[in-house]
Amino acid sequence: MLPTEPAVLAPAMTDKTPSRPSTRAETARTFPRTWGEPVALVGALVVLGITFTILNPRFGTLTNLQNILDQSALPLIIGVGATLVILLGSIDLSVEGVMGASGMTFVLLSANSRGGPDLGILAFVAAIAVGTALGAVSGTIYTKVKVPSFIVTLGMWFVGLGIATVLFGTETIPSLTNDELSTWSSQLTFGLPNAFLLAAVVVIGGAALLRFTRLGRVILSIGNNELIARGNGVSVDRFKIFVFIIAGALSGLAGAIASIQLGSGSATVGVGLLFVTIPAVVIGGTSLGGGKGGVLRTALGVILLTVLNNGLILAGVSPNYQSAVSGAILVAAIVAAAWSQRDRLRIAK
């Protein structure tokens, strides 16, 4: 081995390091990396809005905009839970099943055509409790038995549907008989639909949780690197179960609201929501790998997809094609969102 160079050299060399070009480039990239995607989404939203207004002037009317907000309420509520779970690096597919079980619970415990008890506001609590319980079961199996969340929640989806079917039984369809309740969700307060206002509260709550609470920051750290989180003494399992409970509770709430909107109890009250929510999370810029993204971004994604679906109907796209068209646009949007991160050695699973 050769003798080392004199230590006097060191300071002279380090003096040069601050002007390294790589450091400067790093700083310059900060703006687009943080704000680029949301700005692009807002841009896309504006372009879609203009296009659909040209195709059908009815798109831009106040009634239709209120309609869009009303339609976005459920995916927004579900989207908050889905974002938190995905930020962990996990996934919750049980949404539609949990909504079925909790929605049916809600209808049977409210004033309905079958009679039975009318618990009023407590029916809401019961619906959320059902969602919470199912979320807790998913989270516990996922963390303690170490089964991938994908499989656990896929199973829980059908467990939820099963519970709803059993509750439904063999009698007639239970429909809500309290008119005040049935119209609550679409009634306007300050010009905005009630359901949307509720969803907005959930979104703001979710964003605040992510920004200002230890739970929120721990979610981000687990998603970034679970091993390091464990090494820092974070009780990873406990936090994960808690996140699944939040997601389950939000699915429960969504199940109740969906039942109100439908006006009757149905096991399939949540059908189609998973297909809107997960893409909305991804389009919003939350990474499926975890650790990167946020609730407000998901809200943008939800609005974008709702506008898309609404606009396609108003633009006169035949219902026969609509599903294929919205699917294709979805794939295109996700490709666009992921374009900046492509790399030869990047691995997608």
Partner 1 sequence: MTGDDQDRPTHAPVLKLTDIRKSFGSVHAVVGISLEIARNEVVGLVGENGAGKSTLIKILTGIYQPDGGSIEVDGKVVRFRGPRDAVASGIGVVHQEQSLFTNLSVAENIEMNAVTERGSAVRFGFYRWGRLNKNAAASLARIGSQLNPKTRVGDLPFVDRQMVEIARAIRVEQHRITAPLVILDEPTSLLERTETAVLEREIGKLKDFGSVIFVSHRLDEVMRICDRIIVMRHGKVVADRRSDHVTEDELFKLMVGRESHAVKRDHPVDDGSLVPVFEATNLTRNGKYRDVSFSVLPGRLTAIIGATGSGRESLARAIFGAEATDGGTMSIGGVAVHSWSVTKAVAAGVGYVPAERKVEGMVGALSAAENITLTHPGRAARGPILVPHNRARIAQEWFETLDVRPNDSSLELDRFSGGNQQKVVMAKWLNSPNLKVLVLDHPLRGLDPGASQTVNEHIRTVCAEGAAVILLADTLEEALDIGDDIIVMRDGEVSARFNVAVDNPSTLDLLEGMV
Q: Does 25 bind partner 1 (CB under 8 A)?
A: yes
Q: Does 63 bind partner 1 (CB under 8 A)?
A: no
Distance in Å, CB of 179 to partner 1, minimum? 41
Q: Which residue, 228 or 334, has its beta carbon nearer to partner 1?
A: 228
Q: 95, 157 in Cβ contact below 8 A?
A: yes
Report the candidate in 133, 126, 96 with the shortest Cα–Cα distance to residue 110.
126
Distance in Å, CB of 275 to partner 1, minimum? 28
Distance in Å, CB of 244 to partner 1, minimum? 18
* Total site size for partner 1, rule CB under 8 A: 43
User: Which one-letter DSSP state was computed for residue 172?
Assistant: P
Q: 341, 347 in Cβ contact below 8 A?
A: no
Distance in Å, CB of 144 to partner 1, minimum? 18
Q: Does 146 bind partner 1 (CB under 8 A)?
A: no
Binding segment toward partner 1, per CB under 8 A, in 23-31, 149-157, 167-175, 307-315: 23-31
Q: 76, 197 in Cβ contact below 8 A?
A: no
Q: How far apart are CA 248 and CA 133, in angstroms?
A: 7
CA 155 vs. chain centroid, Å, equals 19
CA dihedral 325, 42, 334, 70 (to 10 degrees): -50
Q: Which of 51, 61, 183, 213 binds partner 1 (CB under 8 A)?
A: 213
Burial classification of residue 317, based on how many CB atoms lie within 10 Å of its CB (0-12 exposed, 13-18 middle, 19 or more buried): middle
User: Under DSSP, is residue 8 helix (H, G, I), strand (E, B) or coil?
Assistant: coil
Q: What is the secondary structure of 313-341 as a DSSP string?
A: HHTT--HHHHHHHHHHHHHHHHHHHHGGG
Distance in Å, CB of 344 to partner 1, minimum? 6
**Residues pairing with 115 in the sheet:** none
Q: Which residue, 224 or 326, has its beta carbon nearer to partner 1?
A: 224
Distance in Å, CB of 342 to partner 1, minimum? 11
Q: Which of 31, 35, 150, 212 binds partner 1 (CB under 8 A)?
A: 212
Distance in Å, CB of 299 to partner 1, minimum? 20
Tokens of 36: 């680029």
Q: Which residue, 106 or 239, has its beta carbon nearer to partner 1?
A: 239
**Residues pairing with 112 in the sheet:** 176
Considering only residues 219 through 278, tell me which ones interact with partner 1, judged by CB under 8 A: 220-221, 223-225, 228-229, 231-234
Tokens of 306: 């709702």
Distance in Å, CB of 245 to partner 1, minimum? 15
Q: Please report how the helices 236-262 and 121-140 are oriented relative to each other, as an axis angle in degrees rounded to 10.
A: 140
Q: Which of 159, 217, 264, 315 binds partner 1 (CB under 8 A)?
A: 217
Binding segment toward partner 1, per CB under 8 A, in 7-15, 36-44, 136-144, 314-322: 7-15
Using CB under 8 A as the criterion, which residues of the chain lie in contact with partner 1 when the complex forms? 1-2, 4-5, 7, 9-14, 16-17, 20-23, 25-27, 29-30, 211-215, 217, 220-221, 223-225, 228-229, 231-234, 291-292, 344-345
